[in-house]
Structure 1
Amino acid sequence: MSALKEAAGELGRVPTAKEYDRIARERSLPKSNAVTSFFGSWRGALEAAGLVRSSACEVQEMVERVLSGGKRCVRASEIKGLPSSVKALIRSKVIVLKAKKETVTWLDRAAKAGFPEVPGCEKGREFAVRVASGETYREIGSSEGMSGERVRQIVHKYLRRVVHGTGNAGRMCRVRRELSGSGFPEVPGLEEARSLAERFVSGETYESIAESTGLPWWRVKHLIGKYAACVMEGRKPRGLWAGIDRDTAAGYVLKAVRDLGRVPTRREYDAYCRAAGGPPSHVLVRIFGSWRGVLGAAVFPRGDVLNVAAAEYEGAGVPEGTQV
């Protein structure tokens, strides 16, 4: 550092590496590459010698000017005039979040609300407070024994629940609306899920239901979603198709062929089942081995139904899209 100050004193200004090397040759001082290797960069050497201001100080001043308007955090794009050498530093400063706009907005809204408690997101709240105070995801992760990416996921989950009240507000509102007008029909095998759905529609949250039942909140969410899917889409729970036999499965496929007027593709069959009821295609594929096997074993033997030439059937099934 004394060598850098000596060179700066002779020039009357901050020296470049080339200018420093010229003075170093005349006065037997360490070369610039030795100085750079010790401090990591020429800029770092100048900062250590006190000849230039630290990039961190410059960035902090820019951030403080932007935050003076009342915001708790900002994005990098909101700070004008940043030199390119500072971009990498910004990514490591959590108070200047280089992330999606909604993430920055959510953190700001959670800070203004005082970081409210969210059942099941205690760690997320703790991490969000630390993020808002200036810690990086990596620093939090190293102190907690987890990766920075995992910390980001936990914080994002907490912020999302603070802002929207759940992980998927739109679907949750749709589920409540559909179930409230369904009359809560009985679904075999989902009696417990039906009672949970009734409590959910009445205004309770996943967390409050979980606390009273002793189930984890994600299990409550899964059961309610499973019951809602059966009610809203008119299909049975997936597990109830496990014992279906080949003849019954073939009857569902034949019914779909008669109603549609043609041999359906797998996607068309699934759409038909969601509307009319019936085992989904993956259940049939598990029974017959493949979708062509389903068509071949369940549809083609009934030749009075399909007008298919015998030459088109080679044991693998009729071609998809064959007209009736």
Structure 2
Amino acid sequence: MLSDLQAAHPWIDFPAGAHDQKLPHAAQAISRENQWRGVDYNPEAAAEDIIVSRWDDPRGASSHEATTPENCYFVGIALKQTRAKLTRDRQIVFDGTMPAGSMYVSAPSRQLSVQFQAPCAFLHFHISADHFPAQFSTTDGLNDLVLLRDPLAAQLARALIAHGDAADHRFTRCIGQTLAVHLARLEPPRAKVNALPKWRLRRVEQHIADHFDRCLSLSELANVAGLSRMHFAAQFRAATGYRPREYLLNHRIEHAKTLLTTSGRPLAEIALAVGFSTQAHFSTVFKRMSGQSPARWRLASKGERVEVEALPRSRPAAENDWMVGAAA
């Protein structure tokens, strides 16, 4: 299912921490999971209609499976970009890149399996079905729904992360209620576009990875995929959530972040190395996609790495977008 959404960009980018201990739900408004979606449903937690937890996994690959409780919806919001494959009843729900701010939803009593192919960090919400219209229980409108870079979800997650352990239950419940209202008001997608087949997508992704430092036209990428420009652009967005040019810019910015954190090269040199013709254009795109200028991001990233390394190992701290889903 496909539908336009307002523009949004990745905004949380930090190293995932080590495995977290599960903390008592009463002690923190945002509990840490020791296994994917491993919320402790003790009597006190069960009495709450909105439960928020966090899952961080620094591993490059992992697999998990969980079933949403019968009385609530499950919502996950990505805090950093990752690659994931979601399946239910052997049907692929989603397989591709999840940028920061992506959101996926699972309906009550539905089983969902995931294979992460990169480090990941998520906020997880279990929201009582009472917060959603009654007719949702008889449809698949909010089941197996993946929103790639949903603007409001990104802002809500940012608000919770900004408060950290200082967030209280009243605040997290308010965020959860806002999220439920947002989901309930989403219009069902009106059209379906087949995603670019995996073998074609891998071909294009590899071509971009090999040549991102030079100009890549839509025609060139379409030829690599073996499709017309129109069909390629639509199928690429269905598979990745990005326009081809947006994907290219994101790849350049991600590579630039690596250079910013691992080298002392001047910004102008980094801009040219990742395919931008001027430092000014590089800085504009970088700030739009990351929320900070390259210089500020470099300083924050270095400070962040020091802070994360100092923590105990058991406690770690454009423009149109698309909605993709599959309902069985």
TM-score normalised by structure 1 residue count? 0.21
Q: Which has the larger strand fraction?
A: 2
Q: Which has the larger helix fraction?
A: 1
TM-score normalised by structure 2 residue count? 0.21
